[in-house]
Amino acid sequence: MFKKKYTDEELVKGCTANDRKMQEHLYRRFFPAMMEMCLRRTDDREEAMSIVNNGFLRVFKKIHLYSFKGSLEGWIRRLVWHSLADHFREQQRYLHFLVFEERDAPTQGSPAQQLYAEDILRMVDELPAASAQVFRLYAIEGYSHAEVAELMGISEGTSKWHLSTARQKLRQLIHQHEMKQYAG
């Protein structure tokens, strides 16, 4: 299909200039990883495709802001992740998406279901620093445990442990929030 492989700098400059060919190269290069990230959060391919395309729309609108600090893929991943989070926020499943495993999901109509992303993020700030950082990278920014481990200089197992600890502590904080709501 495409024979030439462009550098990140060439892609960014071309996309900043609104060059459709460069936009297509960027899209085709990063689409598989972004689609895989979205499919980890939803089983519906059409839903995942819509999220990825909304994410790339953000990428093309903000490409002029990319400053070559960190990887281009990481920057794109964050923007697509924000589209993913927006999608679930709109669907009122954001809390489940960030914190809960299927077996722990809050019941319909519970105070935990009414928490907003800002509430959850304030609770994340109350976590131990390393667990909070792993939670942000994995659950919010969409990095894999291998990527988190590399970024933080820890093992994948330690990343998984921190995520589990963060989720457990967040469930406790949410439970405390529910008790205050029921008492108040």
Parse the chain into domains and list their residue ranges: 1-91, 95-184
Do 84 and 51 touch, CB atoms closer than 8 A?
A: yes
What are the structure tokens assigned to 37, written together? Answer: 């990230």
CA 175 to CA 74: how far, in whole Å? 33
The whole-number pLDDT of residue 73 equals 92
CATH fold for the domain made of 1-91:
Rna Polymerase Sigma Factor; Chain: A (1.10.1740)
pTM of the model: 0.55
pLDDT, tens digit (0-9, with 9 covering 90-100), for 44-86: 899 999 999 999 999 999 999 999 888 899 899 989 988 887 8
CATH fold for the domain made of 95-184:
Arc Repressor Mutant, subunit A (1.10.10)
Do 22 and 6 touch, CB atoms closer than 8 A?
A: yes
pLDDT, tens digit (0-9, with 9 covering 90-100), for 160-184: 999 999 989 988 888 887 777 666 5
Domains 1-91 and 95-184 share a fold: no
The whole-number pLDDT of residue 91 equals 63
3-state secondary structure of 184: coil
Q: Cα–Cα distances in Å, from 8 out to 11, 30, 46, 60, 82?
A: 5, 11, 28, 14, 21
Nearest Cα neighbor of 72 from 10, 4, 163, 3 is 10
pLDDT, tens digit (0-9, with 9 covering 90-100), for 9-46: 999 999 999 999 999 999 999 999 999 988 887 778 99
The whole-number pLDDT of residue 3 equals 64
pLDDT, tens digit (0-9, with 9 covering 90-100), for 102-130: 444 444 444 444 455 566 777 888 899 99
DSSP 107: P
CA 60 to CA 62: how far, in whole Å? 5
